[in-house]
Amino acid sequence: MKARSLKLREAHKSINGNNDNHPSFCSVLWDQEAHHLVTASSSDPSISIHDPLLPSNPPKILRHHRDGVTALALSPNSTCLASGSIDHSVKLYKFPSGEFETNVTRFTLPIRALAFNKSGSMVAAAGDDEGIKLINTIDGSIARVLKGHKGPVTGLSFDPMNEYLASVDSVGTVLFWELQSGGILHSLKGVAPNNISDTSFMNVVSWSPDGETLAVPGLRNDVVMYDRDTAEKLFSLRGDHVQPVCYLSWSPNGKYMATSGLDRQILIWDVDKKQDIDRQKFEDRISGMAWKPIGNALAVIDVMGKYGLWELVVPSSMKSPTEDIPSLKNSNGVLLFDEEDPEPSTSGGLSEFAEDILCESEPCSRKRLRKQSESEDPDEDIDDELSLLSKTETRKKVHRASKDNLDKRNGLRNTVTPAWLKMQEAFQPGATPPQRGKRRFLCYNMLGTITTVENDGYSHIEIDFHDTGRGPRLPSMTDYFGFTMASLNENGSVFANPCKGEKNMSTLMYRPFSSWANNSEWSMRFEGEEVKVVALGTAWVAAITSLNFLRIYTDGGLQRHIISLDGPVATASGFKNQLAVVTHVSDCLPSSDQMLEFRVFDISSGTQPLTGRLPLTPGSHLIWFGFSEEGQLSSYDSKGVLRVFTSQYGGSWLPVFSASKEKKSDESYWVVGLNASKLFCISYKSPDKFPQVIPKPVLSLLNLSFPLASSDLGADALENEFILNSMHLSQIQKRMEDMAGACLDTTALDDEAFNMEATQDRCILRLIASCCNGDKLVRATELMKLLSLEKSMKGAIKLVTALKLPNLAERFNSILEERLVNESKGTHKSPLPSSNGRASLTADAGISKMMVTSNGKNEKPESSIAFSSPTLSAPPLFIKKENKQEHKKSDQNQTTNAKTSMEPSYAEKVKSAENVLRVGEVKMTGQVLKVQSQRLSDPFLKSSNNQETTKKDLDQLTSLRPSNPFRKTPN
């Protein structure tokens, strides 16, 4: 038959960074009524919506991606458009208006394939990171992540009966997924071409409209058909393609198929006869095709971004491609979605996924299952029973709420009573209040999130980890218990619900993420006793109840301890072996201040190392409580003050952050967690009281900062750094003492102490410079006494001498002489008190670096902050090093091994610093020694036009110690 020519119209420009034309993967699709044609290109971040009746009119352009659009999908009812991009994001739009709705998910690598299921309530997304995400389009939650491919996933297709999902990757592997279980039914390896080296050519798969056959590009320039249930090869379409097939598309009735090959031609096939009936040649390779839903036409787009419409694809003498479209019948298995339901479940119809979970944890359901095994349709009866049970329990819960608020709660007040007027109710850290019809957080911490949404008497729970490589991929869970609180750690998750049912029972359930045993999940029930707060730690689970009982279980479900608390619980949190519980001491004061106390339990040793009152800002209540990443006990109140507990002064809470100094007038912070230097939070604006799950909230990182008064020195940032560094040093000392008391090796903390003391001396020298600038000489003298090292003090003397302050230099020299005399007598005390009276003299490297850089470039000193009390103490190791150095002053020019002694290296650095800090080279004008506002900055800001940096000395010194002692290293 004679090939015809079809003229194409440019929709997208395919150009690279050199403005050269290059092939790109382009997509095209129709809407349901054939009123619009949508195109996209992997080299163009925009999406075009064309009017096929008026092709000369300019298209509607959607510009929301930052990089090329690699995938398009339109819901079956043509109301929702999905797009995937090289920028790793999947976005949803209203159609045909093109109004942007939301970012539903992000991947770590580019997206390559999208597909809607038959009902449109779920979209599957996949790409170069080899995973497939099943996403609920109503609330944007991730229902399941499918893992099994070993290469970039390039093609996805839901079967029309919503039982299976087919996928293909760039190495030619095709997988059949069962949606109900999320498992792989069939794996066909190497059946499709390997195109991993060419991203403009992507393998695709497509189910026939009747759902009985899966079409896959073959290895012999053909298309292979596979059986729906057995995945056996049925037949192939092999004709005049001389190169591999790169795209295929079924006609609406499934009688015809269009195939595009790398040979730049399209063949039209009569599938039943297994022969081609027409063809079309093109100048460039066709990368996308779509049959017109109404009529006899095929839309095509090539790799250069040009599209066109091939009219009368099928000869008029043959049956029309839209005639006798098959009507689907429900299969005998459980369908993932009900097509006849006009309002799909907000959870995407995944209720069946967790049916087995309910059967394991609900005794009455087990009995019901056994009774129904004799019925004709047990699955239907079970579903009806569970639905009825859930709805009944929900109604009873609403009826009970008002009654319980009046005569129960065991001393707790009504939950609708404002917290600032009466004793606040118990709360779960990281949880948001329920909202009808909306997904909410049961738990949001530094590891991940647990979210839930209620629908028709039951809920769907999703667990997601912030770092997808850190936690396992977890399926969604259907919750028939009505869980209202949860906690999450690396090993598992725990859930609990309030009292419900005729027996007024509360349920506690623990789900480990992995176990060597099959049935490792367990649950506990409490009759007439309600779980208020739950917490997790290393190999233990805790629940605090309305009877003021602290119940501790092992992760295997062994009931280990039951402890009576002396007041109603407010909240609790766990970290490794430690459990911290906050309870009410008494009713609120007349000023509405909450009266709270905290207790810390060490579960492994069975001890209670800490207890005391929990401070709050006057008129506030507690809204977050937990541990930092380093294990520091922390609290955050409704006035926006963050406090951490330290061992200073026998144990004190220090305010390390105040939202009033950070936020805007209409902005508030919802705490997620914190580490040594940052507060992790979500900011939200009035009138919101907490963040929403959808759209996904953005995490903000705020620097910890003491609520310092405005100093006349004008160096608030330096003063804040000084206090935080002192806290850090004290905490290191406390950890070393604890490890020494446990007969553990403290060598690992030596480097940390070394670096922090060097950082602190640099900070003090900068403060001295600021004091000299501000003529605060008494304050400079006080700072001089806080320096730890002799060489640091000598550096300060040279500094003030360079600033032409001879009287201050003389006073500094007297302080140094007094220090040397006291050391020679063995009576010198630490500049800042520590628990053992020792002073560490290990900041030589930091001070040398400080002086060397004073006439050089801006070299950011490494700085890290932890929660601790102000002390400069360190183990005797550093004192011995200092004494050894002082007795060998005459050997300063001798080169020694850095691993055994650091003194000669320090001497070289100090000698270099002496040359730099000579009078006349350091000019203390408005530009020299200007106090910097950023913590991680050089000691001095300088006009660097006529200055050179002794970078070699800096590099030698920096290499002697780790750059950041609190930087995490992989396990």
CA distance linking residue 747 with residue 738, whole number of Å? 13
Query: What's the average model confidence in pLDDT over 225-244?
Result: 93
255: nearest Cα among 234, 272, 275: 272
Domain 9-16+24-309 shares a fold with domain 483-512+521-703: yes
| CB distance 941 to 930 below 8 Å | yes
Amino acid letter, residue 778: V
348: number of Cβ within 10 Å? 27
> What is the arithmetic mean of pLDDT over 71-78?
93
Half-sphere exposure of 838 (CA within 13 A, CB side): 18
The single residue listed with the structure tokens 């560094």 is 725
Cα separation, 872 vs 874, in Å, equals 7
Q: pLDDT value at position 663?
A: 64
Q: Widest CA span of the chain, in angstroms?
A: 113
Check pLDDT > 90 for residue 22: no
Q: Is 639 exposed, middle or buried (0-12, 13-18, 19+ CB in 10 A)?
A: middle
The 8-class DSSP code of residue 922 comes to B
Q: Would the pLDDT of 36 be above 90? A: yes
What spatial distance separates the first Cα and last Cα of the chain, rounded to whole Å? Answer: 66
Q: 267: which 2 tokens?
A: 């063949």
Give yes or no for residue 904 having a pLDDT over 50. no
According to the model, what pLDDT value does residue 506 have?
92
Cα gap 840→843, rounded to integer Å: 8
Kindly report the number of other CB atoms within 10 A of residue 372's CB atom.
17
What pLDDT, on a 0 to 100 scale, did the predictor assign at position 559? 94
For residue 45, give both structure tokens: 């971040």
DSSP assignments along 206-245, one per residue: EE-TTSSEEEEE-SSSSEEEEETTT--EEEEE-SS--S-E
Amino acid at 827: T
- Cα separation, 111 vs 125, in Å, equals 7
Question: Distance between CA 761 and CA 850 in Å, rounded?
Answer: 9
Per DSSP, the residues of 848-874 read: HHHHHGGGS----------S--S----
Across 837-841, average pLDDT: 36
The domain locations on the chain are 9-16+24-309, 483-512+521-703, 715-821
Which of 50-59, 65-74, 96-105, 343-352 is least confident?
343-352
Distance separating alpha carbons of residues 188 and 219, to the nearest angstrom: 13
Question: At 203, phi and psi to the nearest 5?
Answer: -60, 145
Q: Which amino acid is at 513?
A: F
pLDDT of residue 475: 82
Question: What pLDDT is recorded for position 138?
Answer: 74
CB distance 477 to 461 below 8 Å: yes
Instruction: Look at residue 626 and tell me whether its pLDDT is greater than 50.
Output: yes
Q: So what's the pLDDT on residue 15?
A: 59
- 943 versus 278: the higher-pLDDT residue is 278
Work out the number of other CB atoms within 10 angstroms of the CB of residue 569.
23
Question: DSSP letter at 433?
Answer: -
Which amino acid type is present at position 934?
Answer: Q
Question: Ranked by mean pLDDT, which of 3-12, 144-153, 895-904 comes out on top?
Answer: 144-153
Contact 838, 831 (CB under 8 A): no
More confident residue, 188 or 419: 188
Residue 955 in this model has a pLDDT that exceeds 50: no
Least confident of 135-139, 156-160, 922-926: 922-926
289/309 Cα distance (integer angstroms): 10
Q: What pLDDT shows up at residue 456?
A: 67
Name the amino acid, one letter, at 406.
L
Task: Look up residue 160 and give its amino acid.
Answer: P
Which helix (H) or strand (E) is 796 found in, with range? helix 790-802
Quote the CA–CA distance of 240 and 231 in Å, as a whole number. 26
- Identify the band that residue 389 occupies on the pLDDT scale cut at 50, 70 and 90: very low
Give the mean pLDDT of the chain: 77
Contacts of 288 (CB under 8 A, 6+ apart): 25, 26, 27, 28, 29, 247, 300, 301
Report how far residue 749's alpha carbon sits from residue 809's, in angstroms, rounded to the nearest whole number.
35
Beta-sheet strands, E only, within 803-918: none
pLDDT at 154 over 90: yes
Cβ distance 271 to 289 under 8 Å? no
Residue 236 · residue 245 · CB < 8 Å: no
Whether the predicted pLDDT of 952 surpasses 60: no
Q: How confident is the model over 390-405, as a mean pLDDT? A: 41
pLDDT digits (tens, 9 = 90+) for 883-899: 434 444 434 444 334 33
Burial 415-436 (b: 16+ CB within 10 A, else e): eeeebeeebbbbbbbbbbeeee
Q: β-strands 4-5, 275-281: how paired?
A: parallel
Q: At what angle do helices 876-886 and 903-916 cross, to 10 degrees?
A: 70
> DSSP letters of 4-29?
EE---EE-S--B-TTS-B----EEEE
Q: How far is CA 112 from the centre of its chain?
A: 23
Asked whether the predicted pLDDT for residue 346 surpasses 60, the reply is no
Mean pLDDT over 8-15 rounds to 82
Query: Where on the phi/psi map is residue 732: left (φ > 0), alpha (ψ -120 to 50), or beta?
Result: alpha
Rounded to 10 deg, the angle between the 844-852 and 903-916 helix axes is 30
On whether the CB atoms of residues 775 and 744 are closer than 8 A, the answer is: no
- Whether 837 has a pLDDT exceeding 80, the answer reads no
As a whole number, mean pLDDT of residues 392-405 equals 41
User: Are the CB atoms for 686 and 668 separated by under 8 Å?
Assistant: yes
Dihedral, CA atoms, 372, 377, 382, 385, nearest 10 degrees? -90
Residue labelled with tokens 């991940």:
448
Three-class SS state of 411: helix
Long-range pairs for 48-56: beta carbons < 8 A, 24 or more residues apart: 48/11, 48/12, 49/96, 49/98, 50/11, 50/307, 52/299, 52/309, 55/9, 55/309
CA–centroid distance for 643 within its chain: 24
* Secondary structure (3-state) at 324: coil
Contact 904, 893 (CB under 8 A): yes
CATH of 9-16+24-309, one of 2.40.50.140, 1.20.120.420, 2.130.10.10, 1.10.10.60: 2.130.10.10
Percentage, residues of the chain above pLDDT 90: 46
Q: Does 468 have pLDDT greater than 80?
A: no
Mean pLDDT, range 670-696, rounded to an integer: 87
pLDDT band for 13, please (50, 70, 90 cuts).
confident
- pLDDT higher than threshold 90 for residue 919: no
For residues 118-140, give the mean pLDDT. 87
Greater confidence (203 vs 742) lies with: 203
- Specify the pLDDT at position 401: 43
Q: Which pLDDT value is given to residue 756?
A: 84
Neighbours of 947 (CB within 10 A): 15
pLDDT mean over 230-242 = 92
Residues contacting residue 164 through CB under 8 Å, at least 6 positions apart: 158, 176, 177, 178, 179, 185, 228
What angle in degrees, to the nearest 10, is found between the helix axes of 790-802 and 903-916? 10
Residues 94/47, Cβ–Cβ less than 8 Å: no
Tokens found for residue 691: 């963040």
pLDDT at position 20, please?
60
Q: Are 2 and 278 in contact (CB under 8 A)?
A: no
pLDDT at 287 over 90: yes
- Rounded to whole angstroms, the Cα distance separating 798 from 768 reads 12
Residues in the chain: 971
Residue 675 tokens, joined: 């580490």
pLDDT of residue 159: 92
Average pLDDT over residues 703-730: 87
Q: CA-to-CA distance for 702 and 708, rounded, in angstroms?
A: 16
Region of 539 on the Ramachandran plot (φ > 0 left; ψ -120 to 50 alpha; else beta): left
Q: In 10 A of CB 556, how many CB atoms?
A: 13
- What is the model's pLDDT at position 827? 55
d(CA 534, CA 529): 14
* pLDDT at residue 664 in the model: 66
Distance CA 744, CA 923 (A): 50
Topology, domain 483-512+521-703: Methylamine Dehydrogenase; Chain H (2.130.10)
Q: What are phi and psi of 55, to 5 degrees?
A: -65, -20
Q: What is the pLDDT of residue 471?
A: 67
Q: Is the pLDDT of residue 65 over 90?
A: yes
pLDDT of residue 747: 79
Task: Record the tokens describing residue 28, joined without a space.
Answer: 């095209």
